[in-house]
């Protein structure tokens, strides 16, 4: 590959903080709020103009992994606080007590409130583009914005970018996943009662719709509840693209619905996915409008501004959580929380602190969908409530490390567990 050499230059240090959180999705919000509430001077850097990541801009609105198979809630803390706030202001659709869907726009505002009330310094419209590293320790990040290239120094950084951008830039080892990339949407004008009647009266025909629309090159348009479903507004979860090859769209990986081969850190793949998914959604909407009872008046209200990336880098931690552990009901002394697991025989999965601490690198913790898990387990970890749970743990740990001047790998997990419990987290 041809290269150029950039001239070296001085860049301004615009802030020096205890905790720097890169990425303001579910994990980043919880991390920043936890760190600031823990007394750390905290700044959160987010590339877009709002918080929430896939749970707002990505129009991913169902709270998965929040309840275990017995229907008991297993995540509390900042995630549950956000849910309670949404419930209080009409931003929550409770299909059943264990089936919760949020309003994307109200969640943006709840996230603003949580952060500003806690005293988090917000830097929106700012990309974290590089890590500052000294002796294998992250000491800050380089940010880019309309103001150019600037540095922020930190005692501890929480990587909540979803893609492990900071840890990777700093040289951390990582595993890489290429699950299907989707693009969610909101629609209006759906009469779901009419569609349900059709499903009841013609179950075979209703079941066949998905394969019919896929055969035409379109995406199925399944309607999921929003708080505004009484006026026909629903969100649609798009399974998405497995690869660039037309032949590999639907049944390419029959053993795993989510399997794919597009890289979410390849800008050409992301560009392809945006355009191709918009094309397929248009075909899907047209098909449903013409053929599916309840969808005659369906209108596209919004395409997600944020592409539906399920998986990419997972920063290799001191402990990599595995599917085998889940199936064996593994218990961890340093557990920082649980997720309602979906595959094993137990009721929930415990997550150890060590899965957030990079194998070799210091000064940084991972959180959300880029923590250390194997391919078999990412499904149970990457969903929104567990991402907020690991975010809260990372932010709490970062504040404790900054306060006591210890490295994340040397933090006493019992101290962390005590603080998490005091802050309303649910621990095994
Ligand atoms: C199509 C699809 C459907 C899904 N369905 C469900 C579902 O039904 N229920 C469920 O619970 N979960 C679902 N998920 C999973 C869930 O939405 C995500 O895994 C979860 O939001 C991850 O949270 P996160 O905070 O780790 O990352 P993200 O939500 O990806 O947030 C990362 C944040 O960091 C920002 N960022 C990234 N890089 C940088 C950078 N370098 N500098 C500054 N900012 C940066 C991003 O803009 C974003 O705000 C789905 C995911 C997809 C893609």
pLDDT of 63-102, one tens digit each? Answer: 999 999 889 999 999 999 999 999 999 999 999 999 999 9
> Domain segments of the chain: what residues?
13-176+312-422, 185-303
Q: How far apart are CA 244 and CA 258, in angstroms?
A: 15
Instruction: Output the pLDDT for position 25.
Output: 98
Cα separation, 52 vs 86, in Å, equals 13
Confidence of residue 294 (pLDDT cuts 50, 70, 90): very high
In sequence order, what DSSP letters do the residues of 390-428 get, joined into one string? HHHHHHHHHHHHHHHT--GGGS-HHHHHHHHHHTT----
Mean pLDDT across 378-397: 97
Q: Are 405 and 18 spatial neighbours (Cβ–Cβ below 8 Å)? A: no
pLDDT of 248: 47
- Determine the distance separating the centroid of ligand 1 and the alpha carbon of 52, expressed in angstroms: 8
Residue 342 has pLDDT above 70, yes or no: no
Mean pLDDT across the chain, nearest whole number?
A: 95
pLDDT for 59? 98
Pairing status of strand 174-176 against strand 313-315: antiparallel
Burial 161-180 (b: 16+ CB within 10 A, else e): bbbbbbbbbbebebbebbbb
Rg over alpha carbons for the chain, rounded to the nearest Å, is: 21
* pLDDT, mean of residues 112-118: 98
For domain 13-176+312-422, which CATH number applies: 1.10.10.10, 3.40.50.620, 2.40.50.140, 3.50.50.60? 3.50.50.60
Structure-token pair, residue 332: 């961890």
**Which DSSP letter does residue 321 get?**
B
CA of 292 to the centre of ligand 1 (A): 31
Q: Which atom of ligand 1 is nearest to the CA of 66?
A: 11
CB of 89 within 8 A of CB of 112? no
pLDDT at 156 over 80: yes
- pTM for the structure as a whole: 0.97
Nearest-angstrom CA–CA distance, 312 and 184:
18
Q: pLDDT category, 249, cuts 50, 70, 90?
A: low
Contact 297, 394 (CB under 8 A): no
- Distance between CA 213 and CA 285 in Å, rounded? 9
For residue 81, the tally of other CB atoms under 10 A from its CB is 18
Residues with CB under 6 A from ligand 1: 22-28, 45-48, 53-55, 58, 60, 62-64, 127-128, 160-163, 165, 182, 184, 237-238, 240, 308-310, 368-369, 382-384, 387
- Select from 155, 166, 48 the least CA-distant residue to 112: 48
C-alpha to C-alpha distance for 164 and 157, rounded to whole angstroms: 12
- Least confident segment among 13-27, 30-44, 247-261: 247-261
């Amino acid at each position: 590959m041809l290269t150029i050499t950039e001239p070296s230059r001085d860049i301004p240090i615009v802030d020096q903080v205890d905790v720097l959180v890169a990425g303001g999705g579910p994990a980043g919000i919880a991390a920043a709020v936890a760190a600031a509430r823990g007394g750390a001077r905290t700044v959160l850097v987010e590339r877009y103009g709002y918080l929430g990541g896939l749970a707002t801009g990505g129009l991913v609105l169902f709270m998965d992994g929040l309840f275990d198979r017995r229907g008991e809630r297993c995540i509390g803390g900042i995630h549950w606080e956000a849910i309670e706030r949404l419930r209080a202001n009409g931003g929550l659709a409770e299909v059943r007590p264990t089936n919760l869907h949020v309003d994307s726009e109200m969640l943006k505002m709840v996230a603003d409130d949580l952060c500003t009330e806690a005293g988090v310094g917000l830097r929106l419209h700012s990309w974290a583009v590089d890590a500052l590293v000294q002796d294998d320790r992250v000491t800050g990040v380089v940010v880019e914005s309309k103001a150019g290239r600037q540095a922020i120094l930190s005692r501890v950084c929480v990587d909540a970018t979803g893609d492990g951008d900071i840890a990777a830039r700093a040289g951390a080892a990582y595993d890489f996943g290429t699950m299907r990339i989707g693009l969610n949407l909101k629609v209006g004008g759906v009469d779901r009662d009419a569609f349900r009647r059709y499903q009841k009266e013609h179950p075979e025909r209703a079941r066949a719709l998905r394969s019919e629309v896929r055969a035409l090159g379109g995406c199925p348009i399944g309607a999921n509840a929003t708080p505004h479903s009484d006026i026909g507004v629903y969100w649609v979860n798009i399974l998405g693209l497995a690869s660039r090859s037309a032949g590999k769209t639907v049944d390419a990986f029959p053993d795993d619905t989510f399997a794919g081969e597009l890289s979410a850190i390849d800008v050409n793949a992301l560009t392809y996915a945006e355009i191709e998914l918009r094309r397929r959604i248009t075909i899907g909407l047209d098909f449903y409008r013409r053929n599916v009872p309840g969808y005659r008046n369906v209108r596209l209200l919004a395409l997600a501004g944020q592409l539906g990336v399920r998986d990419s880098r997972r920063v290799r931690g001191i402990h990599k959580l595995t599917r085998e552990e889940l199936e064996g009901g593994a218990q961890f002394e340093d557990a920082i929380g649980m997720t309602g697991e979906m595959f094993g025989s137990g009721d929930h999965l415990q997550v150890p602190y060590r899965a957030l601490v990079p194998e070799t690198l210091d000064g940084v913790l991972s959180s959300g969908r880029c923590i250390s898990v194997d391919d078999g387990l990412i499904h149970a970890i990457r969903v929104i409530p567990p991402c907020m749970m690991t975010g809260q743990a990372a932010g709490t740990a970062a504040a404790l490390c900054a306060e006591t001047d210890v490295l994340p790998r040397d933090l006493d997990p019992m101290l962390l567990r005590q603080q998490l419990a005091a802050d309303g987290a649910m621990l095994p």
